[in-house]
Structure 1
Amino acid sequence: MNPGDEQAYSDYGGDTGHTRTRLPEGDPYGGAPRRSSSRGLVTVVGVVVLLIAAIAFANRGDHSSTTDSTTKGSQPQTSPTAPTGTRPVQSKTGTIPSGFARTEEGAQSAAANYATELVSADIIKPTLRADIIKQVFVVNQQAALTDKFNRAYSKQFLSNLGLDANGNAPAGHTYVSRTAPIGTKVTVYTDTAATVEVWCTGVFGTAGADSTNPVTSDWFTLTLQLRWSDSDWKVDSFSQKDGPAPVPGDDRASNADEMAKAVEEYGGFTYAR
């Protein structure tokens, strides 16, 4: 991927075009100048930027009706994410948890679980994308978002990630895009709508001996506008921003085989507040 390619796709997501490939000098959370990372992950993080930028592009549109309804509700005090003892949902629609409680905790659980789907290896595959959109989004947004996702994840975009038109990696390679919510925060809540921020980390890239986009990690926050629809929380719109990101550690990077094996052997979770 050349710099021109990265710029072309970063335009879709506005501020998502910024990479976090630098380590801080001095105070890691201050405004000190930054230097280049010694790990040489510029190309890798560029791919992550493209992926999330495509999501931001797919989400562009006028969702003013939902925004108006959510801002009319009360704005409860936010608090750190902590377990409540409430059991996770017991049902699924396809492979995605469903049947969330009509409470703040239920909205947070829905947002966390939907975040893992919106930034996943499945969402880039045309054969799986339609089902994810149907299960995650409110009905009146599905057609428009299907079109936007299809245009965002074009053949050219997938080619830039080293994938074919169906979102598959070459033989001997494994494409990885897995998200793990770190915490959630409700900023607006009524019994019909909620705004939930989900702080996430994830692993992204292609595992393979000769991969030019090895798997690396990223930190970002998804903001989901949820609506109570058909007796469940569904996404009306969403957006994303970088961070908050910790100072990178000095962990030994796993080789391609270890990473591909981990993705195949370790399953995901159902997230509950």
Structure 2
Amino acid sequence: MSTGDEQGYTDSHSGQTRTRLPENDPYGGAPRRGPRRSSPRSLVTVVGVVVLLIAAIAFANRGGSSADGSSGDSSAANKPKAAATAATGTRPVETKSGGIPSGFAQSGQGAQSAAANYAVVLVSADILKPVWRNEVIKQVFVADKQAALVDKFNKAYDKQFLSSIGLDQNGNAPAGDTYVSRTAPLGTKLMGYSDSAATVEVWCTGVFGTAGENTTNPVTSDWFTMTLQLRWADGDWKVDSFSQKDGPAPVPGDDKASSADQMAKAVQEFGGFTYAR
């Protein structure tokens, strides 16, 4: 599902974008050699030597630093470091307000955790339902932007737009169908930070569309990056504005599409996550 590039609201779900390990013998089909007559002790010795060599190489390559502490590769300092999308120090939030994670730490990690969770909320099926939309805006955005955003979101998700994606004016799919809109953050990047404001990019993938036998808007996937401007307000990180751009997207795989029933069942049975940096 795609959000718009205007401050805090979306214009459509129009961004639609869709690896297997080789099943062949990794050794090219060459016949395996018969077992060699080696004693158990010699086999243990060989394995031990190999393990020690691997450990020595890994230790030598870790960091690539010289004896004086400087890097052996002058370009290494300019390359981004890999970082797991898991909690790396700050305790994940345990509180929720209106079902939305809240109570993030006033730190760079806390800002990234907030941005990841807010990205999920802003590209969810709930944002299409008028009964839930105002609550989402209240919980996610800073207070001085909420009134204007209610009007903007209502205009963006008007009856005509909802009808174009097969939903009624209340954001509901036809009887027997299930509307799907679920986002999964793959990583966050802190672009700027102070104790009162932060800019975070969130790289996401997601699925959206209507799971139904006769739908004209089948469930598909997309890849996008959201940029969220956050402000520290009332003891928590809140969204001041946000925008979105397409990608980065991988080459589409050759996965077999699931049936409408399977997609609907997956959405109903698989719960979401609270994300923490």
Does the C-alpha gap of structure 1 residues 11 and 100 become closer, same or farther in structure 2, counting only changes over 3 Å?
closer
- Residue of 203, 206, 230 corresponding to 2:207: 203
User: What are the within-5 Å matches in structure 2 for residues 104-123 of structure 1?
Assistant: 104-123=108-127
The whole-number CA distance in structure 2 between the counterparts of 1:177 and 1:16 is 12
Normalising by structure 2, we get a TM-score of 0.72
Q: In structure 1, what is the Cα distance between the partners aligned to 2:94 and 2:14?
A: 39
1:128 is displaced (CA, Å) by 0.2
Report the alpha carbon displacement of residue 185 of structure 1 after superposing the two structures with TM.
0.2
Shift of 1:18: 8.0
Residue 102 of structure 1 corresponds to which residue in structure 2?
106
Which residue of 2 is the match for residue 147 of structure 1? 151
Equivalence for 1:239: 243
The structure that is helix-richer by fraction is 1
Residue of structure 1 in register with 2:198 after alignment? 194
- State the shift of 1:94 in Å: 1.3
In the alignment, is the contact (CA less than 8 A) between 1:78 and 1:185 conserved in 2? no
1:11, distance to aligned residue in structure 2 (A): 10
TM-score (norm 1): 0.73
SS in structure 2 opposite 1:122?
Answer: helix
Closer, same or farther: CA 111–174 of 1 in aligned 2, 3 Å: same
For the pair 1:183 / 2:225, whether they are aligned, the reply is no
1:81 match: 83
Give the deviation of 1:97 after TM superposition: 0.5
SS in structure 1 opposite 2:244? strand
Q: Which amino acid in 2 is paired with 1:109?
A: S
CA distance in 1, matches of 2:100, 2:5: 31
Structure 1 residues 91 and 213: alpha-carbon distance in aligned structure 2, compared to 1, 3 A threshold: same
**CA distances 1:42-69 after superposition (whole Å, capped 9, x unpaired):** xxxxxxxxxxxxxxxxxxxxxxxxxxxx
State whether residues 17 and 223 of structure 2, in contact with CA within 8 Å, keep that contact through their aligned partners in structure 1.
Answer: no
Counterpart of 2:127 in structure 1: which amino acid? I
SS at match of 2:150: helix
Distance in 2 separating the partners of 1:129 and 1:163: 15
The one-letter amino acid paired with 1:151 is: K
Q: Distance in 1 between matches of 2:11 and 2:194?
A: 30
1:229 aligned partner: 233
**CA distance in 2: counterparts of 1:95 and 1:21, whole angstroms:** 29
State whether residues 16 and 241 of structure 1, in contact with CA within 8 Å, keep that contact through their aligned partners in structure 2: no
Gaps of 5+ in 1: 1-8, 23-76
State how far apart, in whole Å, the 1-side matches of 2:156 and 2:259 are: 30
Structure whose CA Rg is larger: 2
- Where 2:182 maps in the other structure, the secondary structure is strand
Instruction: Tell me how large the CA RMSD over aligned residues is.
Output: 2.5
CA contact (8 A) 1:81 1:185 kept: no
- Write the distance in 2 (CA, Å) between the matches of 1:11 and 1:271: 24
Shift of the 180–11 alpha-carbon distance from structure 1 to 2, 3 Å rule, reads closer
CA distance in structure 2 between the aligned counterparts of 1:154 and 1:104, rounded to whole angstroms: 36
Of 122, 127, 131, which aligns to 1:127?
131
Q: 1:260 to 1:270 in 2, by over 3 A?
A: same
Separation in structure 2 between the aligned mates of residue 15 and residue 173 of structure 1, nearest angstrom = 23
Superposed displacement of residue 175, structure 1 = 0.3
Q: Structure 2: state its 5+ residue gaps.
A: 19-78
Deviation at 1:81, TM superposition (A): 3.4
Q: For residues 21 and 265 of structure 1, what CA distance do their matches in structure 2 show? A: 24
Distance in 2, Cα, partners of 1:17 & 1:263: 18
2:40 is aligned to none
Paired with 1:214 and 1:129, the residues of 2 have a C-alpha distance of 24
Q: Which letter maps to 1:227?
A: R
Secondary structure of the residue aligned to 1:147 is helix
> How many percent identity over aligned positions?
72
Q: CA deviation at 1:86?
A: 3.2
> Structure 1 residue 269 and structure 2 residue 273: aligned?
yes
Structure-1 separation of matches of 2:17 and 2:98: 37
CA distance in 2, matches of 1:127, 1:17: 20
How far 1:88 sits from its partner (Å)?
Answer: 1.1
Per-residue displacement from partner, 1:200-243 (whole Å, max 9, x unpaired)? 00000000011111101000000000000000000000000000
